[in-house]
Structure 1
Amino acid sequence: MRNFNKVILFVFIIFVAALLLIPEKKVQETIGKKHEPEYGNEVKNLEVFARIYGYVRYFHPSDEAANIDWDEFAIYGVNRIKQAKNEEELLRALNELFTPIAPTISLSSQKVVNPNNSDKAPKNAVLVIWQHQRDFQSFDYSSERIYSENSNSIMLFDQSFKYGDNTINKKIEKIHLSLPTILFSVSEQTIGSTKESKKNLKKLEDNIHQYLSDYDSSYDNEDVRIANVIISWNTFQHFYPYFKEIPIDWVGQLPKSIQAMKNVKNEEGTYDVMRNMAAQLKDGHIGYIQNINPSVALFKIPISVKHVERKLVVTFSEVKEIQPGDVLLKLDGKDALKEFKNLMKQTSGTIQWKEQQAAFNLLASQDQPEAKLIVERDGQLITVDAPYNYQPTKFIDYVYDRKKDFSEIEPGIYYINFFSDDNQLDDNMISKLSEAKGIIVDIRGYPRGDTPKVFLSHLTDRKLDTARFLKLQPIFPDHSDKNGYENGSWSIEPKQPKIKGKVVFLTDASAISYSETIMGIVEHYKLGEIVGEPTAGTNGNVVQMFLPGGMKFYWTGLKVVKHDGSQHHNVGISPTVPVKNTIKGLTEKRDEQLEMAIKLIKEN
């Protein structure tokens, strides 16, 4: 034992001496260095393919690229790249895939000036470039190639470019890419293809067709799963407007998600990987919808829960055995709070929105008839078989036992909300509100129609502008700082009679998007007290996209900043009078936020 201790002491002395020989800076670097995950060659090769895929699909305006089916190409491309065993085979596969659809591309293991481009314009040539934009009212991006009137320059949005401008030069792993984003075109045919490239295009199309004629199009197929990552990742990489607000290693998410797709085997696993990837963007609008049969609806247990005092507490119930204030412990034998936290991890957005959505999704199902719940009340456990028999009309519902849409809850104090399509403020209602002592406006959720705008128009003597709605102009790839924005804000004109009483707005994390547009106006123009909790922190029109295998996803395609230019995304609207629910208040079936609003009006 004594000799063993001597050996240990000797090793320790040698270790310390070695550390002393290393420069201090080097020691600090070694200790503080973040260890990047190691991926195999196949994942790295697929990452290279994915990056090039995005550049060619969205920024190279050749006729071939405009006409290819990019979903089919992605699936086949994954399969082809997986066959590459070394760098030489990878380069050959990349050229087989991309050169036929981008004849002027250069892919090389060494940095070279693109040899496939000539600055000399052919006779009668014009310039062609991709223009991606979205209408303020549309769910989709529109992508079209636009043409100049001559070969000298081309206008894209409000910028002028010449042939050779904006060429994409990138080193991706060991592959050097050079790709023009502006081409010459004669008689609406892009210049650059050759007899060889046309022959290779025919061969590529035949290979894709042959592969797709006998392949599994479901998410049991790894190629389809990885193609979903590649398409989604590139969509965000080039068009998501909030990377400045959410500083993350999005490039690092690509190999991580590809590897994750290799580890799962089915549709449910695919869905989990996609949600985990998107959760990094902290966008409350992001949602992936699985292969849903439109004839099969989503149903929810007709109760609501909320994360209160570190417990899942019932806020509303139409299940007779369950009451507000009950603590949800188990759902079909699983720990409800643990399941709730797992759902939060897969939800994109602010903490408050994650809690909101996780509480909703915990109690929703598409194929289960009922669930076994265990709740706690006054120290007693109650087991209930609760049906999935409530069909939500919105992704948020059943948060509170609300008052009627329009009611006088105390003499001279009116309560209104805008969650019913039938709630239209007529002249009689406006007349009553204009003489009221106080008005409580419930924006805890998603209002419908133009009624909120009508109400706000009677609170002011001047025009009310919304926050800044900024439409991205993606000229340059990789969410470049050089990309500009178009302002698309709108206004509300004042109307008579003006409401003179004190106005209090109720809000919380269930207020998202349009709700936050309304609350942003309230906040900026100080139209009333704001009682409750922070809003979701996600605003801007939604974009949708369909993926191979039947999945569909949504995300925020419009950037919104507050009136003063400060950040709204992942922040939201904060209450002027914060009020949180308590278990005691919920048990007593009290709406503590509404109570505070009444108190403020009476004090006034």
Structure 2
Amino acid sequence: MKKTSVILILTIFSLNLLTAQQTISEIEKLASLGKIYGFLKYYHPEVGKGIYNWDDEFIKYLPKVLKATDKNDLSAIYIDWINNLGNIDVCKKCSSEENYFDKNFDLSWLQNENLFNDKLSSKLKFIENNRIQKENFYVEIQPVGNIKITNEPQYKNFEFPNEEYRLLGLFKYWNIIEYFYPYKYMTDQNWDSVLRQMIPKIKNAKNQSDYQNKIKELVAKLDDTHAWISFSDERPMYIPAKISHIENKAVVSGFYNDSIANLNNLQLGDIVLKINDLDVRTEKDKNLKYVAGSNKNIKTKNTYTKIFSGSEKEINLTIDRQGQVEKIKVNRYDFNDFNYWDNSKAIKSKSVTDEVGFINMASVKGRDIEDIFKSFDTKKSIIIDLRNYPAFIYNRFSRYLNTEKKDFSKIYSPNINYPSRFSYTDNLRTNSSKKAFKGRIILLVNEESLSRSEFTAMAFQTADNIITVGNQTAGADGDVVVFEYLGGYRTAISGNGILYPDGSETQRNGIRIDVEVKSTINGLINGRDEVFEKAIELASE
């Protein structure tokens, strides 16, 4: 009798265990739907022609997927969906042996035995092997290699859509990143886990503000200084000072306009303790997860920009000025009021000493280059300041630094014929001249060196006798892709992958630095440019 009872108990336990194994959670079902939706959109030849209203297809199959009870039930739903899309011809061009950049590529989920049965996995694999080629209704390649999102439906008055469309927006965005974001493999959090984490957050958003915060959190998970999202055409206003994270404090490190900063009683080296009686450190920590940035330093700086800007025309700051705590009122301005990018008084170049010249890349135009180098013909060293955003003149400029052409950048771009795989383009090369400057070049960089500045620095670093001085740059290279998040919200990502010729990454890391120098609070107070001072020292050796 006891033996019979034991067998019965074991049988019941086994059945319960089998049932538990077959149970699929709601998040797993939704995540699988999000992946299938995107995979068919960018891989299936018929879907890629744009002959289906693909968003309506998602809305139609969403309730069916949620009602699925186990993997066979779920697989049957997806098989029915695929069968209704039409036949797929065998693709003779899909067996390319191209040398792909494959660090982002992973379609192993097509064979997930916990979610899909063998029949479905076989169908999905067949679609991968016979995928759409050349043209896709929903995405195209730009001349520079990055993507353009096309033919997405316009959703008006969707500032806080219902649950099904909130999920649709998440899945649209997630799949664009999954298949076309060049730096997906470098994110701190695995992109699959981001999907599972964000589904309940987006699904259960309480109101418009909560919903938008969740989207900001999603975008921030790209760990990309180029990434942003805008929910309104309204322009924020800014204080006239740059705030940097120095010695673990929020410090005034520079000005967008010296005169306007002076009118607002702001000084270099001011440590900002409070903004409108709110503790700056607390506000920074609270907002970090909503702000994109490639590395910790630039992410913190961007977070300061967020909390110090806004719609109020005037704010109160509590500052520590050389040990004295005081409160000041500071006005905010439209950024255009600073005339920051077109400062006619800014120095283009100058002689520091008889032997050392200085070039400020923020102000130099292509027409200036020849005259500048002629004036520096007798110099032994030139300091080039790239702690700014230069004109797109790296190629023209590089002929004055290089006696021979040199590779400076390896690029990989999205391949829409095999989404999530990327194709290499020819390495970019500098220009050259036998009359190139023969002396020492000292390149200055810091957190202000972003994107084009970093790209330019990579080209200049090929010079024969060059030293790069400063601190970690913004770590965001490659052309920017701007597209819409469902509801008309504008968002952006880095569009191409940029590497040094040896394959090492600039994204997140920033460009290579030979001599690290960081600004200090004491240095700012005393009006010192410590990075420039180190450059003078090296130039004089």
**Structure 1 and Structure 2 fold alike (TM over 0.5):** yes
The counterpart of 2:384, out of the listed 431, 441, 445, is 441
Contact 1:220 1:266 survives alignment (8 Å): no
Measured against aligned partners, the alpha-carbon deviations of 1:340-364 in whole angstroms (never above 9, x if no partner) come to 2344333231123213322333323
The counterpart of 1:588, out of the listed 521, 526, 535, is 526
The counterpart of 1:432, out of the listed 343, 367, 375, is 375
Say whether 1:46 aligns with 2:30: yes
Q: Which structure 2 residues correspond to residues 115-514 of structure 1 after superposition, within 5 A? A: 153-154=92-93, 169-171=110-112, 173-176=114-117, 177=120, 178-179=123-124, 180-181=126-127, 217-246=158-187, 248-290=189-231, 292-293=232-233, 296-317=234-255, 318-320=260-262, 321-346=265-290, 347-365=292-310, 367-391=311-335, 404-420=347-363, 424-450=367-393, 452-473=394-415, 475-476=417-418, 479=420, 483=421, 485-495=423-433, 497-514=435-452
Cα drift, residue 464 of structure 1: 2.6
RMSD of aligned Cα (Å): 3.7
Cα drift, residue 169 of structure 1: 4.5
Matched length: 477
Cα drift, residue 218 of structure 1: 2.3
Contact 1:220 1:265 survives alignment (8 Å): no
Is the deviation greater in 172-181 or in 308-317?
172-181
Aligned identity (percent) is 22
Contact 2:288 2:300 survives alignment (8 Å): yes
Paired AA for residue 283 in structure 1: D
Q: Call closer, same or farther: CA 1:40–1:173 in 2, change over 3 Å.
A: closer
Q: Secondary structure at the match of 2:357?
A: strand
Contact 1:435 1:500 survives alignment (8 Å): no
Contact 2:182 2:497 survives alignment (8 Å): yes
Say whether 1:84 aligns with 2:67: yes
Which blocks of at least 5 consecutive residues in structure 1 are unaligned? 1-38, 105-116, 118-125, 129-152, 161-165, 189-208
User: What is the alpha-carbon distance in structure 1 between the residues aligned to residue 243 and residue 316 of structure 2?
Assistant: 15
Q: Call closer, same or farther: CA 1:371–1:97 in 2, change over 3 Å.
A: farther
The counterpart of 1:561, out of the listed 499, 524, 530, is 499
Paired AA for residue 458 in structure 1: Y
Higher RCO structure, 1 or 2 (CA under 8 Å, sep 6+)? 2
User: What is the alpha-carbon distance in structure 2 between the residues aligned to residue 403 and residue 534 of structure 1?
Assistant: 25
Q: Secondary structure at the match of 1:435?
A: coil
Structure holding more strand per residue: 1
TM-score of the pair, normalised by structure 1: 0.70
Q: Call closer, same or farther: CA 1:358–1:471 in 2, change over 3 Å.
A: same
Contact 1:532 1:577 survives alignment (8 Å): yes
Q: Secondary structure at the match of 1:434?
A: coil
Contact 1:540 1:557 survives alignment (8 Å): yes
Q: Secondary structure at the match of 2:522?
A: helix
User: What is the alpha-carbon distance in structure 1 between the residues aligned to residue 97 and residue 496 of structure 2?
Assistant: 19
Q: Call closer, same or farther: CA 1:43–1:456 in 2, change over 3 Å.
A: same
Q: Secondary structure at the match of 1:517?
A: helix
Q: Secondary structure at the match of 1:299?
A: coil
User: What is the alpha-carbon distance in structure 2 between the residues aligned to residue 249 and residue 64 of structure 1?
Assistant: 27
User: What is the alpha-carbon distance in structure 2 between the residues aligned to residue 423 and residue 297 of structure 1?
Assistant: 31
Cα drift, residue 413 of structure 1: 2.9
- The residue number in structure 2 matching 1:33 is none
Cα drift, residue 257 of structure 1: 0.4
Decide which structure has the larger Cα Rg and report it.
1
Q: Call closer, same or farther: CA 1:99–1:159 in 2, change over 3 Å.
A: same
Cα drift, residue 374 of structure 1: 1.6
Paired AA for residue 285 in structure 1: H
Contact 2:361 2:390 survives alignment (8 Å): yes
